[in-house]
Structure 1
Amino acid sequence: MDRLSCLQVFAEVARANSFTVAAHRLSMSRASVSKHIAQLERALGAQLLQRTTKQVGLTDAGLRVLENGALLLERYEEIAADVRDTVTQPRGVVRVSAPQSFCTHQLLPLVSDFSRRHPDIQVALSIDDGRSALVSDGLDVMVRIASALEDASHVALPLLTAPQVLVGSPDYLRRAGMPRSLRDLARHNCLVHTIKSPTGIWRFGGSAADEIAVRVRGSLCANFGDVLHQAALRGAGLSMHPAYMVEDDLRAGRLLQVLPETPPRPLDVVALYSSRRHLPSRVRLLLDHLQRWARTPPPWAAPYRPAPSPPVLTAPGSPRPPPAHGP
C-alpha cells in the first residue's frame, strides 16, 4: 500500500473520529483501515491517533499530519483531475452540502438535471446543519443561505436572493391576534431558528441600511427550518422562512403572511468552494450549472406579494376594527 493511500485513509479516520465509520465511507474493512494507519505511523515514526474503546482522537503529530496532508491530497487531486480531463470525460464524485429544505425542494431537481447531462459525475448530497466545513468534511461545494457569511476563507459564488416571509396559521392568529406593528411581536410566541437567529433577533427591512432588529422569544426553537415550519402549521406560533418553503401554504391559506408592509431581511443564496487555483472540472461543471439556473430566477426569488385583501383576525375579546362606511 502506498503512502498517499495511507494518508487518505488517515484523513478519513480523523474526520470521522472512528475506524468503523471511516471503513464504511471508504468501502474497506476495518482491519484494512487499521493496517493503513499502522503503516503511516511506522513511516513517519510517530503515533498519530489516540485510541480508546469509545473514540479516536488526534495526537499533536496527527494534527500536524492532518493539516499538511490535506494540502498534499488536494494538490494530488488537482493533478489527477487535470490529467483525467485531458484524456476522458469528467468523472468522479462532487460532494455538496446544503440546508435540508433547500436541498430537498430546490437543489435536488437541479442535481437530477445535472446528472442527466453528466452521467459519469456522481453528486453526493449532505445536509448542512450550520457546522459543515469544506476541508474537514471533505466537501467540494457548500450552499449557504444567510444574511451574512462569517467565513471569508473560501470563494463565494452569489446565486440568488431569497426573500423571507413572517407567517402564522389562521388558528394561531385567531387566538393571539394579528400583529399590527413590529412592537406587537413581543407578546407573540415566536419560533426561532437557532442558526439564522442565534441570539433570538429577527431582522426586518430590505437592506442593512434600513434594518430593524427585534428581539423575540417563544416556546420552541430549532436548528433547521422544517421543524419550525411544521410547528407554525400546527398553530404553535409565528415563524420566519424563505418564501420557497411556505409559498404553497400561503397560496392554500394554511399560513398567512404577517406584517407584509415590513418584510424580513432577505437572505443570500451562495455557493462556497475552495480557493485552490485548479478546481476539478467536475466541480466547475456543477458550479456553472448552478449559475445558469440562477440567471433565470424561480418565482420564489421575487419578493412575496400578499393577497390584496388579507383576512382580519383578532384575538377573542379584543376590540374589532370599525366597519367600513360607504360614501
Structure 2
Amino acid sequence: MNQMFAMRVFRCIVEAQGFSAAAERLDTTHSSVSRHLQHLESTLGVRLINRNTRRMSLSAAGERYYAACVDILDRVDAAAQAVTLEQERPSGLLRISAPLVVGTLELAQWLPAFQQRYPDIQVDLSCSDPFVDLVADGFDVAIRICGPLADSSLVARLLTVSPMVLVASSAYVFRHGLPRSVAELSEHRLLTFAGTAQWSLINDRDEPISVTPESSFHTDTIAALHACALAGGGIAAFTLATVQDDLHAGRLVRILPDYTLGVRHYYALYPHARHLPAKVRAFVDFMAEYYRLKAQG
C-alpha cells in the first residue's frame, strides 16, 4: 500500500473529523479509508486515532504524526506545484474575505509585503466576522478564526493555532495591580466580546475553570475591544497572534499567564478546484509563512 497516500488519508480523516467525511472528500469508500489507516498504524506500530462508535480523537502519537504529515505533504505538494506553475505569474483581482481583526489589526503587517512580492495581484478585501458563501459571493479565498471546522465542501488549510490569552495594558496593571488567581478576576474591570457569556480558563494541567465575567465594557468588534484594552480599560481576551506585537512592545501584559482560554484555529478556505489559481495559492502560501514567522516570535 502506498504510504504517502496513506498519510494523505490520515490527514484527511483528522481534518474532515471523521471516516465518512474523509471518504467523501477523497472520493472513496469508508472501508478503504479504514484500511489505509490500519495499514499506517500497523507500519508505524502505534495507534494514531482512538475511536469508538460515537467519537474519535488523536492519540499523543497521532498528534505528533499529524503535524509531521502536514509538513511533509505540504512540502511535497509545494514542490510539485512549483514545477507545474513555475511559468505562471500570479496576477489579477484577488477577492478576500477576512475577519475584522485581520483587516483592522493585522493588515499593515502583511499587506505591504504581499503587494511588494506580487505586484500584479490586485487585492479586494472584505472584512466581516460571519462566514460568507465563497462561491455565491464571488470570493477567491477566506480567512477564518474559529474552533475546529465542521465538514465542508471547501478546502481548508490550517495557517496556525493560537491560544486565547488574557491581557491588560501596563497602565491598567500599574493602577489596579495583577490578579494572582482566577478568583481575583472578579475584583477587576473585565472587557468582553459579543456572545461571551463565560470565560473557560484552562491551566497547564488542562483543568478548566469557568468564570462569568461581569463586564465593564462589552462590544461586538475586536478592534474596539483592542482599543479599550490599550487605553487601560481593563482585562480582555484575545488570540496570542492578535496581541503578540503589543506584548513584545510592552503595550499589553499577560494576565494569569499560566492560563489560556483554549485555542483558535486560523484557516484559509477556498473552493475545491483541481487547478488552484496561482493568485490564490500565492496568497495562501504567503499567509501560512506570515503566521509561521509570527508564531516564532
Q: Tell me which residue corresponds to 1:152.
A: 152
Separation of aligned partners in 2, 1:174 and 1:119: 46
Query: CA distance change for structure 1 residues 176 and 288 in 2, over 3 Å: closer, same or farther?
Result: closer
- Are the counterparts in 1 of residues 100 and 127 from structure 2 also a CA contact under 8 Å? yes
Q: CA deviation at 1:96?
A: 0.9
Structure 1 residue 252, shift from structure 2 partner? 4.8
Change (3 A) 1:200 1:94: same
Show the counterpart of 1:231: 228
* Rg (Cα) greater in structure: 1
Which stretches in structure 1 are left out of the alignment for 5+ residues?
Answer: 1-84, 304-327
**Structure 2 residue 198 is matched with structure 1 residue 201:** yes
Match of 1:178 in 2: 178
Q: Is the 8 A contact 1:200 1:217 kept in 2?
A: no
Q: Alpha carbons of 1:117 and 1:137: their partners in 2 closer, same or farther (altered >3 Å)?
A: same
- Which of 288, 293, 296 aligns to 1:297? It is 293
- 1:100 matched residue in structure 2: 100
What CA RMSD, in Å, does the superposition of the two structures yield over aligned residues?
Answer: 3.4
Q: Secondary structure at the match of 1:235?
A: coil
TM-score, normalised by the number of residues in structure 2: 0.59
Partner of 2:252: 255
Q: From the two aligned structures, give the one with the greater strand fraction.
A: 2
Secondary structure of the residue aligned to 1:286 is helix
Deviations 1:248-292 (A, max 9, x none): 443454433211122332322211111344433322232233334
Instruction: Report 1:42-53 matches (<5 A).
Output: none
What is the identity percentage for the equivalent residue pairs of Structure 1 and Structure 2? 37
The residue number in structure 1 matching 2:61 is none
Partners of 1:107 and 1:143 in 2: CA distance: 12
2:259 maps to amino acid? T
Deviations 1:92-137 (A, max 9, x none): 2111122334335545544433333433321211212334332343
Gaps of 5+ in 2: 1-84
Normalised to the residue count of structure 1, the TM-score between the two structures is 0.54
Counterpart of 1:297 in structure 2: which amino acid?
A: L
Residues 1:112 and 1:192: Cα distance change in structure 2 (over 3 Å): same
* Cα offset, 1:176, TM superposition: 4.7
Partner of 2:239: 242
| 1:262–1:228 Cα change, 3 Å | same
For 1:14-52, what per-residue CA distance to the aligned partner results, in whole angstroms no more than 9, with x for missing partners?
xxxxxxxxxxxxxxxxxxxxxxxxxxxxxxxxxxxxxxx
Residues 217 and 199 (structure 1), Cα distance of their counterparts in 2 relative to 1, 3 Å cut = same
Higher-helix-fraction structure: 2
Residues 133-184 of structure 1: CA deviation (Å, up to 9, x unaligned):
3234321111112233357342210111223331223454455553222233
For residue 146 of structure 2, what is the amino acid of its counterpart?
Answer: A
Kept in 2, the 8 Å contact 1:160–1:297? The answer is no
